[in-house]
Structure 1
Amino acid sequence: MRVQSEATSLSWIPSEAVKGYTRTMFEAGISHYDDPPPARIDDLERLRLADRFRFANRLHVWADFEDGQVVRHGTDGGGLMGSTTVRVGPLGATFAAIGLPDLRPEAEIGDGWIRVTQSAGGRTALPFPRKAAALPFARWQSPLVWTTLTVTLNADGRGEIGLTGASPFPRHWVYGPDGALALKAGVTDFKAWAAQTGTPWGAEDSPVVVTAAESALERELSRLIMRGGRKPLVRELATGQTLVRQGERGDSLFLLLDGVLTVDVDGRTLGELGPGVVLGERAVLETGHRTATLTAVTPIRVAEATADAIDRAALEHLAAGHRREENA
């Protein structure tokens, strides 16, 4: 029996993710943040030509099983680098990123399963000054970007995808074999990326916090919060800080831009939430009190918006799926 599956990552620069002096290039309009990629993909080349991602990594794996064992297998795919457009006034220029050789170690094969790993990426299009140990204590060089994907095939026909490593920046989204968004890297860290040391091409990957994808409704609401009429307040919290506490009054909405939060109700942890999730709607719709305690388990960035940023009917639809204490 032949079993096959695939995973594709798209990497992009989310709003306000850049730190330090490099941020001035984005604020001045010389470079640009990216709109989120689509919730479903079908043509990587078309997306690349439309400048919808900075780089992509696609891994397709097939295997033939006989009596529960792998007898043949194969792979295809690889990295696809995007470009960066720089504008100064009416003038603009586009620079291509530089891809590095794809890294695909020998497949792992076990009793009734096979797993293939692939790292793909390269050097970003534009260099910027980075600290160096020797004089002149700076060098013009762009850091590397990459993702490390896994595809596991099982003799019973199941396929599993994973994101096991990635550069700390930019944002990485992972799509499944049906082209639908499935996983996200939960944290972006521009400073750690700029000070980059280990990479897969130096036999050292970076661990990544992976979260599930948010709902299609939340993706639409996040666009309204960030691109609507009134600009939201963007806050940053350190690991361990509390965004809201159960029972306290509140009438604002939150969009988690980066990082991971835990949800606790009556002292019981119900789960973790990653970038893209919209929170706070139940306090707005119901009693005016927070129904859960939200605590940062990584450094987070969150956009806080007034309740009128989103239509009430949309909030009611969102709230129907957020009764986590009833689904636990």
Structure 2
Amino acid sequence: MDVKGQAITMSWIPSESVRNWLRGGFELGLSHYDDPPRDVVDGPEDVRALRDDDRFRFANVLTGWAEFGDGPPRGGYGEDSGLLMGSTTVRARVATVTFMGFGLPVLQAEPEITEDRVVLRQTVGGRTGIPLPRPVKHAPYVRWQAPIVWTTLQLTLTRDGDRLVELVGASSFPRHWVYGSDGRLQSKSGLAQLQDWLDHSFGDRTPWGSQDSPALTVAAESAAERRLSSTIMRGEQTPRIVQVGKGEDVVRQGEEGTDVHLVLDGVLDVSVDGDVLAELGPGAVIGERAALEGGRRSATVTARTPVRLARVPASALDAGALEEVAAVHRREERPPGPHG
């Protein structure tokens, strides 16, 4: 049996992920934020077209093949595998200049081949083409070049025809979206830790030195939540941005409240009667059930990591859009009520 598969990450900079002194450079036009990538990509050629349209900062494209027959299994990397590095556009008063990113060598592990599976692992990354001078926490304590960004993808092809995609390592910034072999968005990095990236992501603290960083990933939100998130962030009423510390509750089961929250960054646990039933990450919507069903929270939502949220009153949102999200959450319930 012949099995082919692909795994893709696209990495981009959401506007809410940049803060403090670096945000000033973005506002001056020294760099730019990115709109979210598409929910579905058709394959490597489609990703190249998106790169040419400046839709992301860099992409990890991993394609692979496996042959399972009467003899020993075989497998390897496809010719389309590798790095697609984007660019940084600087918009000054008199001119616009584009700097191509600097790509580092693609790291491909030797295929792990057993009787029933072939496992492929690939790391790609680089840095921006413009400098980012800053103090850092390691010698030489001042850096001129930008920190390194990367993702490490793992693609597992099985004798049964399964194609499993995992993000097993990544830089702590920017946001990384993960696409399965069907081209659909399946998961995303849960945290975009800008200061950690600025302080540490260079030298030996990268895969081209001596270490990778584990990736904290969460399942992608629903299409209904993505549509509603655009309304929350770009609607007539400006959302209130809320910071929640690790271990703190966003909402509590049984309490009254009708505000709706959009997760901008971080990972949260959802529990009913003390049992953790689900996890939420960037793009998830919290609180639509209470807004539609009497104003009382049906679950407790607790920050597993530091979390940033956008909060708006339910009255600022279309009831039909809230019901669409609630319908998706009802189908996911085990048992009822995991979304507050």
TM over 0.5: yes
Quote the offset at 1:326 in angstroms: 2.7
Aligned residues: 327
2:329 aligns with 322
The yes-or-no answer on 1:84 pairing with 2:88 is yes
Does residue 269 (structure 1) correspond to residue 273 (structure 2)? The answer is no
Deviations 1:131-154 (A, max 9, x none): 25567x423110000100000011
Name which of 199, 207, 231 aligns with 1:200. Answer: 207
Compute the TM-score of the two structures, normalised by the length of structure 1. 0.95
Unpaired segments ≥5 residues, structure 1: none
Gaps of 5+ in 2: none
User: Which letter maps to 2:186?
Assistant: A
Distance change >3 Å, CA 152–CA 95, structure 1 → 2: same
Query: 1:246-285 maps to which residues of 2 (within 5 A)?
Result: 246-285=253-292
1:57 alignment partner in structure 2: 60
Q: Shift of the alpha carbon at 1:27?
A: 3.2
Change (3 A) 1:266 1:99: same
Offset from partner CA, 1:226-280 (integer Å, 9 cap, x none): 1122221111112111111111111211100111000011111111111111111
- The answer on 1:106 being equivalent to 2:110 is yes
Alignment equivalent of 2:218, drawn from 211, 215, 230: 211
Match of residue 27 from structure 1: 27
2:55 counterpart letter in structure 1: R
From the two aligned structures, give the one with the greater strand fraction: 1
Mapping of residues 8-157 of structure 1, within 5 Å: 8-42=8-42, 43-67=46-70, 69-76=72-79, 77-89=81-93, 91-132=95-136, 137-157=141-161
TM-superposed CA distance for 1:89, in Å, is 3.3
Q: Does residue 1:163 correspond to 2:163, yes or no?
A: no
RMSD of Structure 2 on Structure 1 (CA): 1.7
TM norm structure 2: 0.92
Deviation at 1:19, TM superposition (A): 2.9
Q: What is the rounded CA distance, in whole Å, between the counterparts of 1:40 and 1:223 in structure 2?
A: 18
Answer yes or no: is the 8 Å Cα contact 2:75–2:118 preserved in 1.
no
Q: Percent identity?
A: 51
Amino acid in the other structure paired with 1:13: I
Shift of 1:194: 0.3
Q: 3-state DSSP class of the match of 1:223?
A: helix
Distance in 2 of aligned mates of 1:9 and 1:314:
29
Say if 1:134 and 1:199 are closer, same or farther in 2 by CA, change over 3 A: closer
Residues 308 and 95 (structure 1), Cα distance of their counterparts in 2 relative to 1, 3 Å cut? farther
Q: Distance in 2 between matches of 1:215 and 1:68?
A: 43
> Secondary structure, in 3 states, of the residue corresponding to 1:206?
coil
Measure how far apart 1:327 and its partner are.
Answer: 8.3
Q: Would you say 1:183 and 2:187 are equivalent positions?
A: yes
Contact 2:54 2:86 in 1 (8 A): yes
